[in-house]
Amino acid sequence: MLSEGCAAIDVVEKVITMMEDDPIFDAGTGSFRNLNGVVEMDAMVMNSEENCGAVHCIQKVRNPIQVARMVMEKTPHSILTGSGAVQFARLHGFEEYEPALSDVKNPSEEIKGRERSLRDIQYYVEEIRKEDHIFSTVGVVALDQAGRLVAGTSTGGIRMKMPGRVGDSAIPGAGTYCTREIGLSATGEGEKILRMCLTYQSARDYLNTGKLTDSLRKNVKRASEIDCICGLIALTRDGEFSFAHNGAFMPVYYRTNK
C-alpha cells in the first residue's frame, strides 16, 4: 500500500484491522474477557500533526481501530469511552459483533466455586497474573511517501481485568504517541506503562539525543526498574526503525522500500 502511495493512516488502519480479525492476538476478535466475561477493548491512532482518536472500553464492535480513526476524523474529541463509544460506532454503521471467542474460558466461570469476596477475587487474579505475563496487544507505525507518520495500537487489555479498566494502549503518550519526528507503540503492563508515560518519554529522549535504539532501551530499562514488562516499536521521520523489549518475546515485523 505504501509503495502505491497510500496514506500512512490507511496502512495503519488496514494492518491493525487484519490483526484485530486474527483471533491469535488480544485485539478485536479473540480479545481477553474481563472479570464479568465481557470483552472491553481500547484502541487509538495518532498522526504526525499530533491529532489523535481513541476509544476506551468499547464493546461489541469488530474493529475498534476503525472507530478510533473516526473519532479523530469526525469528532472534535480525542477519546470516547464505554457506552458513548458504542453509540458513536453504531451511528457510523458499525454493526453489533461479538469479539469474544466461545472456546475461551469465561473468567467468571473460573472463579465460580471460590468464595467470592472481592479480596479473594483480587488474590486469585494476582496469582494468575504472576504465571501469565502474556501480552498480545498489536501496534503499527507507518511512514508514507508524503512524509506523514501514524502510530496505532489496539487491545483487549489484560486478562481478568476489572470491568471499566483502561490500560495504556489508547492513552496518548502512554501506549501510543506520534509527532512530526517519531511514532511509537507500546505493549506490556498497562498500569505501569501509563504511569511512566512510556512512549512520550521515549520520544523526548530520541528528540534530545537523536539516538533511537538507545532511547528505547533506556526507557525499557527504566520500566525494568519498576518490574514493568513491556516492549516498544518506533519509526522516525527519516525512516529509521527500532524496537526494544524486556519480556520473553515480542514478535516484530518491518518492511522498507529497500
Q: Which chain residues interact with ligand ASP by CB under 6 A?
A: 26, 135-137, 155, 157-158, 167-169, 175, 187-188, 190
> Is 29 marked active-site?
no
Considering Cα of 29, then 33, then 34, then 38, what sign does the dihedral take?
positive
Q: What Rg, from alpha-carbon coordinates, does the chain have?
A: 18
Residue number with CB closer to ligand ASP (136 or 201): 136
- Sign of the Cα torsion 81, 196, 205, 258 reads negative
Q: Which is nearer to ligand ASP, 64 or 175 (CB)?
A: 175
Q: In the numeric block, which cell numbers belong to residue 124?
A: 486469585
Work out how close the CB of 144 gets to ligand ASP at its nearest, in angstroms, rounded to a whole number: 26
Q: Which cell numbers in the block locate residue 87? A: 453509540
CA atoms of 203 and 209, how far apart (whole Å): 10
Minimum separation from the CB atom of position 239 to ligand ASP (A): 26
Residue 256 CB coordination number (10 Å): 10
SS3 label, residue 128: helix
Q: Amino acid identity of 235?
A: L
Pick between residue 61 and residue 160 the one whose CB is nearest to ligand ASP. 160
Nearer to ligand ASP among residue 17 and residue 137 (C-beta): 137
Cβ 192 to ligand ASP shortest distance, Å: 9
Q: In what order do the strands lie in the sheet with 41-47?
A: 79-81, 52-58, 41-47, 149-155, 138-143
Cell for 35? 472479570
Residue among 150, 142, 195 at smallest CA distance from 176: 150
Q: How far apart (Å, rounded) are the C-alpha atoms in residues 21 and 62?
A: 8
* Catalytic residue selected from 17, 29, 81, 137: 137
Minimum CB separation of residue 93 from ligand ASP in Å reads 27
CB of 158 to ligand ASP, least distance (A): 5
9/166 with CB nearer ligand ASP? 166
Contact 32, 157 (CB under 8 A): yes
Using CB positions, name the residue nearest to ligand ASP: 190
Catalytic residues: 137
